[in-house]
A and B are shown apart, each in its own frame.
Chain A
Amino acid sequence: MAISTEKLSSILQNFVTSTNDVEGAALVTPDGLPLAASIPGGMDEERVSAMSAAMLSLGERIGSELARGSVDRIFVEGEKGYGVLTSCGEDAVFLVLANQSAKQGLLMLEIKRTLSELKLLLA
């Protein structure tokens, strides 16, 4: 069955609007091309995609080379919020942008839930 971009987009949009303090989300290929995105205006989808892929691949490399085991997520904590990268099966990378008031535990749970929805569509 073909992958439905509309469904992917609607899951992302749903996630962004229904989760408190989440500002954007994107699903990209491991080589950095956009699959679906719901990101703040002013951010370039292509650039966001490439950066997500580069960061996750480096993080995974750190996990294996520096013996940290398989990587669950890459967590970027900035003054103005968070960027969280998780791999979504073999064929996709999931990026979430949240502001600084996001509750980390809740955010991780919501990401996990959304990941399982996305994986169903990509399988």
Chain B
Amino acid sequence: MEIMRLVVTGPVGAGKSTFIRSVSEIEVVDTDRQATDETLLLKKRTTVAFDFGRLQFGPDMALHLYGTPGQSRFDFMWDILIHKAHAYILLVAAHRPGEFRYARRILTFMNQRSSVPMIIGLTHVDHPNAWEPANVGVALGYPNPFECPPIINVNATEAASVAQAIIKLIEHSTCECLV
């Protein structure tokens, strides 16, 4: 049985924990705690170590999904998790452009430590203020669309949509391995 470790990262409230809860076959190991910082503006509870979920993918591959905390004070967890990852997805809320710069910081942090394949998942795309994928790509530091990692829309609350994102991530990582 092959195990593939996927990391789900992104700013606070992008939908990382929800993403994992939507598809995990086991009860998700979460480490939620009551939020006391600006996170409260978005939600009551926040991840402080990591989320862990598991998904069987075909007969001989198991996916282990690790969700990071969003706040940068937990960047030691980002570091621990990314070092073991085979691929990762950066979730960004498309309707909160104020967070794109922060998302880019996470991206830089990850890319300095790991060169595994990645894709960008946009959440909250149904919001009227949501940005277009191409524009988010530019905001995240990919002015050239040909150099930009794949960007897809994800509804983190919907298992089918999350599964699509995971398939995309695995496709992307297998085709990068072939090149």
Residues of A within 8 A of B (CB): 29-33, 46-47, 49-51, 53-55, 57-58, 61, 65
Contacts of A32 in B (CB 8 A): 33, 48, 71, 73-74
Q: Which of B11-50 contact A (CB under 8 A)?
A: 29-31, 33-37, 39, 46, 48-49
Contacts of B34 in A (CB 8 A): 30-31
- Which among A46, A47, A53, A65 is the interface contact of B48 at CB below 8 angstroms? A53
B37 to A31, Cβ gap below 8 A?
A: yes
What are the interface flags for B71-89 relative to A under an 8 Å C-beta threshold, 1 for contact and 0 otherwise? 1011011000000000000
Inter-chain CA distance A58–B29, complex, in Å, is: 9
Q: Given the known A-B contacts A30-B48, A32-B73, A32-B74, are A54 and B31 also in contact in the complex, defined by CB atoms under 8 Å?
A: yes
Question: Which residue on B lies nearest to A55, using beta carbons?
Answer: B49
Question: Which residue on B lies nearest to A29, using beta carbons?
Answer: B36
Residues of B within 8 A of A (CB): 29-31, 33-37, 39, 46, 48-49, 69, 71, 73-74, 76-77
Number of A-B contacts (CB under 8 A): 51
Contacts of A51 in B (CB 8 A): 76
A54 to B48, Cβ gap below 8 A?
A: yes
B33 to A57, Cβ gap below 8 A?
A: yes
Shortest distance between the CB of B41 and any CB in chain A (Å): 14
Inter-chain CA distance A65–B69, complex, in Å, is: 20
A54 to B77, Cβ gap below 8 A?
A: yes
Task: Give 30 A-B contacts (CB < 8 Å), ordered by A residue.
Answer: A29-B36, A30-B48, A31-B33, A31-B34, A31-B35, A31-B36, A31-B37, A31-B39, A31-B46, A31-B48, A32-B33, A32-B48, A32-B74, A33-B37, A47-B73, A47-B76, A49-B73, A50-B71, A50-B74, A53-B33, A53-B48, A54-B31, A54-B74, A55-B49, A57-B33, A57-B48, A58-B49, A61-B29, A61-B30, A65-B29
Question: Which residue on B lies nearest to A49, using beta carbons?
Answer: B73
